[in-house]
Structures are given as structure tokens and as C-alpha cells.
Amino acid sequence: MKDDLGADVPLSGPPKRVVSLVPSLTEAVATTVPGVLVGATDYCTHPAELDVARVGGSKYPKVDAVLDCAPDLVLGNSEENRPEDVRRLREAGVPVWVMAAPATVPMALDSLRTLFTRVFDVDVPAWLTSSEEAWRETRPVRARAVVPVWRKPWVVLGRDTFGGDVLRRLGIDNVYADGPSRSDADRYPRPTVDELRARFAEGEADLLVLPDEPYEFTDTDGPDHFPGVPYVLVSGRLLNWYGPSLVEAHSELSAALADLPTR
């Protein structure tokens, strides 16, 4: 069996002791295959009642703590987890399934379908089929947005990002999705605040979308740098997590964006 990146994952059967290093995968596995998780990161906040060993962060997990869980599978992500940590776990004899960082909602759902049906040998969960149906269509563009995910320095969603595709399917175009242009060459460009302001002044963008994670933007932290620019605060989990949250994400993000003017 091979993971999304083509690496061998030596499993003798469906895993019974799993450590997840990705919050969205933690929620998906806990919901779909209850009882198999024995470890998760400190940032795995859903489901709220999850009671497992905590093994540090996604970027810097405590590898020894992961090994102490005696997992027969560790779940990772090519964007959130460092190759050196994955390598150390594999060298210790632990199978690691690395999911490719999805650039679109369908890519994420296809990868999750493979994970559950092939690795865990369970039926396709109802939340996954509901998500596929909910996110199938792409609405006409209603606004062009800048989507910061960090400040000090400013970091924005760029090309080929899951959150960018979520917004595009709801009719919100990401001005940094087309790169390279100016500093757009990366998936997460780091433009200056002056460059961001210029996007609005020149008419390239007309909306600021501010999630509450990984940086917690608020009404008083974020919009104050862009006087007069329309903005909307959204849940970072609903914008960037792939899993059961996608079902509620479609309706809740749609509601949050409902009052925007049409271009």
C-alpha cells in the first residue's frame, strides 16, 4: 500500500492504534473510526471530547511521545509535517501515511475516501458523500478577496490552497491565487502591508477575509490596517479543515458571505 506521495505503508491489516499529527485528520478519523486514535497533537481540538495522549504540535511533534503510544499507523500531511519527523518514525519501524496537501476540495475528499476505504477498510462515511454533494458546484464570482492567515509578518493564501478553493466554490476569488505576480510565487506569499493596501486601492481586491486560525484575527486586529475595506471574520476550521467540518462549512460560510455585494 502506498500513501498520497507514493511511499510504502506496510500494514498487515486495518490499524488499531493510530496517532494523528493533523487536526483535520484527527477529527475525520475520530468521527469515522471511533476508538482507534491513541495520540494526537495539542492543536487537535475536535472532537472536543477526544481523550488521547498529546504529542506536541504538527510542525514539531515530540517523536518520542508518538513512539510511546505504540502506534501501528501515524497520519501526517505533506504541508503540516516535516519530512525529518516522518523519516524518524519510519526508521523506528512505524508505518506513516502522508496525505498530500490538497489544493482543492475534491482532492481532499478523494484522498480521504482512499484512506478510509483502503487503509481502515470501512465504508465511505456519510459526511464524506454529503460533503461531495455540497461542494460539487462552483458559484459565480461575487468578490475578489485578500485572505491573510498570519500577521507579523503578513502571510496570505496564495495559489493551490484548500482554503482558496473553498472560497472560490462559494463565489469568492482569491487575488493571490493566480501567481506569480508581485510576491505571489508561493502558496503562502508574504506581501508587505503596503502591497496589500495597494491591491484594494487599485481595485484588484474588494474584500478582506479574516480567519481565526492559525492567527486569530478579530474586529480590532486585522481590519484596522485596512481602513474602509469591507471584511468578514470566518472560522479557520471551516475554511481550512477537510473532514466532517466540510458539511457545516458550506452552510455557515455561505451565511457569513451572504450579505456581500455582487461584482
In a domain, 134, yes or no: no
The reply to whether 29 and 58 lie within a common domain is yes
pLDDT for the residue 261: 55
The reply to whether 161 and 251 lie within a common domain is yes
The reply to whether 33 and 104 lie within a common domain is yes
Structural domain of residue 74, as residue ranges?
A: 18-124
Question: Is residue 262's pLDDT more than 60?
Answer: no
In a domain, 28, yes or no: yes
> What is the domain count for the chain?
2
* pLDDT tens digits, one per residue of 55-110: 999 899 999 999 999 999 999 999 999 999 999 999 999 999 999 999 999 999 99
* Closest to 142 in 3D by CA, of 164, 165, 174, 104: 174
The reply to whether 147 and 246 lie within a common domain is yes
The reply to whether 91 and 173 lie within a common domain is no
Decide the pairing of beta strands 73-77 and 53-54.
unpaired
CA 241, CA 68: separation in Å to the nearest integer?
27
50 burial level (CB within 10 Å; 0-12, 13-18, 19+) = middle
The reply to whether 187 and 106 lie within a common domain is no
Q: How many Cα atoms occupy the beta-carbon half-sphere of 165 within 13 Å? A: 20
Locate 213 and state its grid cell.
Answer: 486560525
* pLDDT tens digits, one per residue of 222-238: 999 999 999 999 999 99
Query: Are residues 242 and 24 in contact, defined by beta-carbon separation less than 8 angstroms?
Result: yes
State the sign of the Cα–Cα–Cα–Cα dihedral 161, 165, 168, 172. negative
CATH code for position 112: 3.40.50.1980
The reply to whether 68 and 110 lie within a common domain is yes
